[in-house]
Amino acid sequence: MQQFSASTRSAEPTGTRRPSRRAFLGTLGASVAAATMLATLPAAAAPQAIGLDDPAKKEIAMRLVSSAENSSLDWKAQYKYIEDIQDGRGYTAGIIGFCSGTGDMLDLVTLYTQRKPGNPLARYLPALRKVNGTDSHDGLDGFPSAWRSAANDSAFQQAQNDERDRVYFNPAVSQGKADGLSVLGQFAYYDSVVMHGDGDDSTSFRNIRKRALAKAKPPAQGGDETNYLNAYLDARVWAMKQEEAHSDTSRVDTAQRIFLKEGNFNLNPPLDWKVYGDSFHIG
């Protein structure tokens, strides 16, 4: 999704989308193994640390990302969003910025059509296959209107949620847990995957993480989380500055870095932060 520069999208009721996009995503690291039963206790599972996948924390994550990408905390209002932000990736749309040029929009519409044949977007599948990997709109006449119509369908909203989780949220959180990171660290990973993807290019999530690992160890390797997350955010800022559309780093500098300085590793409200100069609050 997004979009991470000072340029804006066309008027939307909920705010402004910041231009940016990522490459194709690969599979992130393995998930954390389940805790073992304690033999001396009666059938009680060992306690699990809260993660970003806790429903309340996940809602905070969605709102944090939306503040940067849409200048709004109302992430659910973005199901209907669609626009060509002139970043070379065709149409950008929906709650995570699915793109007609990067494959994830095609996957989403394919899933939606499997679940609900004859939906307003189904007839565009052949065109989406042809434009994949390009910024072309060929064969997509009327597609934005069809997208906005489909966005009123709860089945399409659920498909967006599911693809967001499958491709972005779940893999990022799983890798964060494997690295022994807190809710804040898991969010830093998720926000990176949203913007940069997990391809093979130097600015992808996996290579941001690799740059950080060269400077500090995560908790799972015996390191200090504050030191590691500072190294990770440094690497993230470097990656953002490699592309003009991402060059405004306030989503790190005046948001994630602030939470880290406060020692708010669980992202406990109240949260106050700024993105692109806009102030946000979660009470």
Closest to 179 (Cα-Cα) out of 167, 190, 168:
190
Two tokens, residue 28: 């992130």
Contacts of 257 (CB under 8 A, 6+ apart): 233
Cα dihedral 245, 249, 251, 252, rounded to 10, equals 140
Which residue is catalytic, options 69, 104, 179, 225?
69
Beta-carbon neighbour count of residue 28 at 10 Å? 22
Which residue is catalytic, options 12, 84, 87, 248?
87
The yes-or-no answer on residue 69 being catalytic is yes
State phi, psi for 56 to the nearest 5 degrees. -70, -40
Residues annotated as catalytic (active site), given as ranges: 69, 87
